[in-house]
């Protein structure tokens, strides 16, 4: 029944909606690149990851393998090896404050990371460099718990190209960035440039490239999806990189303009189609939000409308969304009040129900017996039944106690199998009348009706080799004991009360899940779910003993107190020594066998020294010492055997089982194969 209740609750929790609008990825990504006189490109990066992570793998490439030789033809200006760089040199990696101010400030502050050959997840201040055929990969260990941003400074060697008429750089910024980027902002500086500057960028249609001045470019993209490639090409004065050794001797400007104009024309057409579709999507989204008032619909519509170009349509849709937002806020206010009232009502009801259940159905009856000690055995049922009375389940200790009881009742005997008393041999005693649970236990021990003796160590081996039959036989015995114990009516039947409590728990989870669909008061509803789950475990686990069961329980607990204080008793107040073996049997299920056996050993020595041991043949000193040794041995062995059998079973089950003057982007990227640079990466 407990498993059914838990499965129902887990199902409800799985379908319970908890929405999160924030995308996990990179919140801000700033890049600052400067062209050097020799054609190198010095790059500085600052970015902040959101969510949980151990660090970032930053892949930085300087070349592509999938390009052709440069031949000076038109196609050579979009897909040839001339655009490759020749090296990546990492200057510094740091962990810095997430509050970006300027790259000049970042140069002065932050924690410098050390290059190491290997590191462990959770480490901070380290990075591992891996050289590849096209660049280098950097595993940067900067875990989220440190709340630090990433700062990198590196050089892409020999990226600039000197043509006969102009200079050019084609740079793949990202080719395989696995993280969504909320805001990307790139500045490219061309020092000493005085006459010519044209630039193009390729990627998503909503990206933008701007010529700030004759020396500076700016590229911006918002909401850049993961694995979206971006590249840029810019042409400028030859004199800027006159020290570059990569020269073509080809007149290039007109060919570059032709290629980029063709790309821009195609991109402009596709962009027009894209924005027309975006306008339709925005209109439909706003209309849907007006007809279905909710914050999620408002946010979805606003997300699309915000991507529109500034103009009359966008302004009109934003005005309509403002009205939607007002309605959403009014609706949420009503829902929030209803949520608070229902949550409070359910919580008050839960307190009342738990209080009533505890007083009437959980709190034990007051027993007639009030004594601290009970020296006799309250009832004649076996120790395994006592174990059920105490814990309402049969444990491995109860198995050990039941076997000791078989020995005490002379149903089986045992003898040492070696001189060190580390192993023992069980033997059946024929002609003894036994109960059904005892018969099952004998079968469990000997594994066969034909087998009349077995070593304790062989029982342990059988648990590993034949774990299925071992567990089956053990379970069969436990089930039989449980039936016998339930027949004693130790516990009252509380199934109806438990079911009512579980149904009230389900009601609380259902209320929380319904209100979570509105994405408001999330914390309140999560608290309700937590309270419901906690109360569920109470409802399915509480028990109440019957008056007879509680009376027996009180006496057995008093007997346990007597056993625990056995060593404090005066010898004349102790029970007859011939009964001590029986005390040891029940002490195992009562959980005080180790202490009692040590105390008995001391007491026997005292009695022997004072000549107080009985001369009767009923007491065998050698046998009693053997019982003390065997008591410790059997508990350890059986616990190990049962646990090993279940471990083996689980292990086996698991194994089976345009023009260049700025503006919008010129369509998609060349795919990362046309220019030098590129790369990306992602969290680890």
pLDDT tens per residue, range 628-662: 667 777 778 888 888 887 877 776 654 433 556 55
Asked if residue 592 lies in contact with residue 608, where contact means CB atoms within 8 angstroms, the answer is no
Structure tokens at 217: 């470019």
pLDDT digits (tens, 9 = 90+) for 572-621: 667 777 788 888 899 999 989 888 888 888 877 777 766 666 554 444 55
Place of tokens 């005997």: 413
pTM: 0.58
Residue 77 to residue 73: CA distance in whole angstroms: 7
Q: How far is CA 431 from CA 404, 411, 455, in A?
A: 19, 9, 22
638 φ, ψ (degrees, to nearest 5): -70, -40
Q: What is the pLDDT of residue 671?
A: 42
Average pLDDT over residues 427-438: 79
- Phi and psi of 512, rounded to 5°? -60, -45
| Helical spans, DSSP H, in 435-521 | 436-446, 456-465, 467-486, 495-516
The count of residues in the chain is 684
Residue 645: count of CB within 10 angstroms of its CB: 23
Categorize the per-residue pLDDT at 75 as very low, low, confident or very high, splitting at 50, 70 and 90: confident
Q: pLDDT category, 94, cuts 50, 70, 90?
A: very high
> Does position 673 have pLDDT exceeding 60, yes or no?
no
- Considering the chain, what is the average pLDDT of its residues? 85
Q: What sign for the dihedral angle of Cα 641, 646, 652, 654?
A: negative
Q: What's the half-sphere exposure (Cβ side, CA atoms, 13 Å) at 439?
A: 8
- Edge to edge, the sheet with strand 424-428 lists 412-416, 424-428, 453-455
The answer for residues whose C-beta is within 8 angstroms of residue 28's C-beta and 6 or more apart is: 46, 47, 48, 100, 182, 183, 185
Q: What is the DSSP string of 119-184?
A: --TT--SEEEEEE-SSEEEEEEE--GGG--EEEEEEEEET--EE-SS-EEEEEEEESEE-SEEEEE
* 500 touches 538 (CB < 8 A): no
Q: Count CB neighbours of 452 within 10 A.
A: 13
Answer yes or no: are the C-beta atoms of 155 and 89 closer than 8 Å.
yes
Quickly state the pLDDT bin for 17 (edges 50, 70, 90): low
Question: Does pLDDT of 672 surpass 50?
Answer: no
pLDDT digits (tens, 9 = 90+) for 329-364: 898 899 889 999 999 999 999 999 999 999 999 999
pLDDT of the residue at 110:
87
Q: Could you tell me which residue, 65 or 152, shows the higher pLDDT?
A: 152
- The whole-number pLDDT of residue 92 equals 94
d(CA 158, CA 62): 9
Which pLDDT score is estimated for 655?
A: 42
State residue 549's pLDDT score: 93
Strand partners, 169: 234
Q: Output the pLDDT for position 184.
A: 93
pLDDT value for 657 = 33
User: Which region among 56-70, 160-174, 345-359 has the lowest average model confidence (pLDDT)?
Assistant: 56-70
Residue 405 vs residues 173, 257, 413, 630: alpha-carbon distances, Å: 79, 98, 11, 13
Report percent pLDDT > 70 for the chain.
88
Which residue would you say has higher pLDDT here, 473 or 650?
473
The pLDDT assigned to 223 comes to: 86
If one compares 548 and 463, the residue with the highest pLDDT of the two is: 548
pLDDT score for 438 = 87
Spell out the SS3 assignment of 408-458: HCCCEEEEECCCCCCCEEEEECCCCCCCHHHHHHHHHHHCCCCCCEEEHHH
The answer to whether 422 touches 519, Cβ cutoff 8 Å, is no
d(CA 383, CA 403): 10
pLDDT at 21 over 70: no
Pairing of strands 676-677, 167-174: parallel
331: helix, coil or strand? helix
pLDDT at 445: 87
Cβ of 341: how many Cβ atoms within 10 Å?
Answer: 10
pLDDT at residue 677 greater than cutoff 80: no
**What three-state secondary structure class fits 8?**
helix
**pLDDT the model gives residue 656:** 39
Asked whether the predicted pLDDT for residue 544 surpasses 90, the reply is yes
Q: Phi first, then psi: what are they for 242, rounded to 5°?
A: -65, -20
In this structure, what DSSP letter does residue 93 have?
A: E
- DSSP states of 554-604: HHHHHHHHHHHTGGGS-GGGSPPGGGHHHHHHHHHHHT-HHHHHHHHHHHH
Tokens 């027993």, located at residue: 367
Burial of 366 (0-12, 13-18, 19+ CB in 10 A): exposed
Q: How confident is the model at residue 180 (pLDDT cuts 50, 70, 90)?
A: very high
Domains along the sequence of the chain with CATH: 25-250 (2.60.40), 383-492+578-651 (no CATH)
Is 328 within 8 Å of 341 (Cβ atoms)?
Answer: no
β-pair partners for 180: 25
Give the confidence band of 69 by pLDDT, cuts at 50, 70, 90: confident
pLDDT of residue 618: 43
| 290 vs 267: CA distance, rounded Å | 34
The rounded distance, in Å, linking the Cα atoms of 578 and 593 is: 17
Q: Are 407 and 413 in contact (CB under 8 A)?
A: yes
| pLDDT at residue 59, rounded to an integer | 92
pLDDT score of 422 more than 70: yes
- Residue 85 near residue 159 (C-beta atoms within 8 A): yes
pLDDT average, residue stretch 77-90: 87
pLDDT value, residue 24 = 80
Distance CA 637, CA 635 (A): 6
pLDDT tier for residue 95 given thresholds of 50, 70 and 90: very high
């Amino acid at each position: 029944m407990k498993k059914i209740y838990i499965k129902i609750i887990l199902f409800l929790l799985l379908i319970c909606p908890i929405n999160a609008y924030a995308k996990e990825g990179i919140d801000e990504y700033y890049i600052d690149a400067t062209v050097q006189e020799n054609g190198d490109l010095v790059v500085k990066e600052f970015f902040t990851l959101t969510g949980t992570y151990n660090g970032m793998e930053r892949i930085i490439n300087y070349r592509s393998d999938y390009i052709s030789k440069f031949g000076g033809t038109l196609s050579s200006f979009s897909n040839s090896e001339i655009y490759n760089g020749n090296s990546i040199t990492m200057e510094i990696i740091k962990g810095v404050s997430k509050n970006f101010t300027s790259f000049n400030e970042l140069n002065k502050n932050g924690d410098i990371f050390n290059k190491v050959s290997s590191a462990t997840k959770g480490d901070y201040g380290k990075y591992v460099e891996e050289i590849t055929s096209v660049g280098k990969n950097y595993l940067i260990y900067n875990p989220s718990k440190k709340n630090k941003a990433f700062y990198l400074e590196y050089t892409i060697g020999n990226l600039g190209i000197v043509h006969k008429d102009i200079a050019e750089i084609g740079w793949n910024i990202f080719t395989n960035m696995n993280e969504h980027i909320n805001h990307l902002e790139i500045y490219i500086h061309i020092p000493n440039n005085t006459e010519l500057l044209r630039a193009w960028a390729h990627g998503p249609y909503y990206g933008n490239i701007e010529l700030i001045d004759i020396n500076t470019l700016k590229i911006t993209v918002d909401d850049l999806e993961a694995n979206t490639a971006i590249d840029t090409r810019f042409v400028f004065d030859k004199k800027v990189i006159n020290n570059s050794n990569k020269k073509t001797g080809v007149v290039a400007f007109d060919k570059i303009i032709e290629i980029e104009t063709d790309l821009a024309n195609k991109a402009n057409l596709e962009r027009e189609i894209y924005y027309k579709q975006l306008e339709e999507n925005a209109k439909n989204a706003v209309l849907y939000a007006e007809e279905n008032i909710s914050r999620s619909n408002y946010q979805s519509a606003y997300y699309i409308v915000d991507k529109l170009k500034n103009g009359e349509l966008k302004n009109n849709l934003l005005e309509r969304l403002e009205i939607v937002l007002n309605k959403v806020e009014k609706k949420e206010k009503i829902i929030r009040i209803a949520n608070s009232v229902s949550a409070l009502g359910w919580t008050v009801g839960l307190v009342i129900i738990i209080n009533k259940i505890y007083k009437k159905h959980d709190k034990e009856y007051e027993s007639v017996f009030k004594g601290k000690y009970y020296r006799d055995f309250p009832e004649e049922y076996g120790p395994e039944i006592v174990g059920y009375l105490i814990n309402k389940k049969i444990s491995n200790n109860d198995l050990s106690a039941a076997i000791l009881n078989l020995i005490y009742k002379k149903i089986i005997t045992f003898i040492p199998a070696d001189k060190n008393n580390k192993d023992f041999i069980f033997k059946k005693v024929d002609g003894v009348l036994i109960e059904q649970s005892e018969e099952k236990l004998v079968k469990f021990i000997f594994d066969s009706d034909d087998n009349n003796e077995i070593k304790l160590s062989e029982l342990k081996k059988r648990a590993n080799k034949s774990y299925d039959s071992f567990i089956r036989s053990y379970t069969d015995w436990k089930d039989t004991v449980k039936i016998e114990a339930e027949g004693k009516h130790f516990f009252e039947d509380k199934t109806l009360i438990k079911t009512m409590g579980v149904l009230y728990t389900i009601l609380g989870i259902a209320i929380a899940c319904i209100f979570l669909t509105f994405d408001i008061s999330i914390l309140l509803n999560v608290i309700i779910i937590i309270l419901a789950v906690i109360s569920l475990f109470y409802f399915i686990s509480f028990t109440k003993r019957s008056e007879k069961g509680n009376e027996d329980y009180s006496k057995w607990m008093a007997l346990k107190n007597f056993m625990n204080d056995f060593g404090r008793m005066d010898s004349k107040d102790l029970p007859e020594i011939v009964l001590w073996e029986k005390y040891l049997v029940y002490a195992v299920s009562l959980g005080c066998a180790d202490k009692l056996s040590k105390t008995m050993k001391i007491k026997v020595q005292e009695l022997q020294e004072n000549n107080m041991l009985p001369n009767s043949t009923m007491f065998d000193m050698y046998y009693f010492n053997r019982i003390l040794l065997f008591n410790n041995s059997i508990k350890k062995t059986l616990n190990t055997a049962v646990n090993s059998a279940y471990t083996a079973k689980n292990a086996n089950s698991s194994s089976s089982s345009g023009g260049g003057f700025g503006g919008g982007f010129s369509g998609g990227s060349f795919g990362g194969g046309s220019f030098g640079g590129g790369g990306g990466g992602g969290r680890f």
